């Protein structure tokens, strides 16, 4: 492989990496917008206790089905649990 081929290959890989970074940033922005929309809805939902139970069940399933992402889901899950009123439910 000559220097020009190495340079061309390096530039191609650089562009590919930059594309992945751009996609990751766009996905992060979409997640933030969706979280804001969900938070707005949850703050006014009359059945937050029922939603909290359902959410915990879905999160358990999600973490079991994608264990490689489970650790990363923890902080997001914590934020959603707070919005759903975890630890603010009346004792049963």
Residues 90 and 50 in one domain: yes
pLDDT string in tens for the chain (92-residue length): 899 999 999 999 999 999 999 999 999 899 888 888 888 888 788 888 888 888 889 999 999 999 888 888 887 888 888 877 776 555 54
Same domain as 26, residue 58: no
Are residues 68 and 32 part of one domain?
no
pLDDT the model gives residue 91 = 52
**Domain end position, chosen among 12, 29, 44:** 44
Q: What's this model's pTM, rounded to 2 decimal places?
A: 0.57
Single out the residue of 69, 33, 77 nearest to residue 52, CA to CA: 77
* 20 and 50 share one domain: no
Which alpha helices (DSSP H) does the chain contain, by range?
3-43, 48-65, 67-83
The total number of structural domains that make up the chain: 2
Judgement on whether residues 31 and 52 belong to the same structural domain of the protein: no
């Amino acid at each position: 492989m000559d220097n020009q081929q190495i340079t061309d290959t390096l530039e191609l890989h650089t562009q590919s990496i930059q594309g992945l970074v751009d996609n990751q940033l766009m996905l992060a922005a979409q997640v933030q917008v969706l979280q804001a929309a969900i938070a707005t809805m949850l703050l006014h939902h009359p059945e937050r206790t029922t939603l909290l139970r359902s959410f915990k069940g879905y999160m358990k399933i999600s973490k079991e089905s994608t264990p490689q992402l489970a650790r990363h889901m923890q902080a997001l899950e914590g934020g959603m649990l707070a919005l759903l009123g975890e630890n603010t439910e009346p004792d049963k």
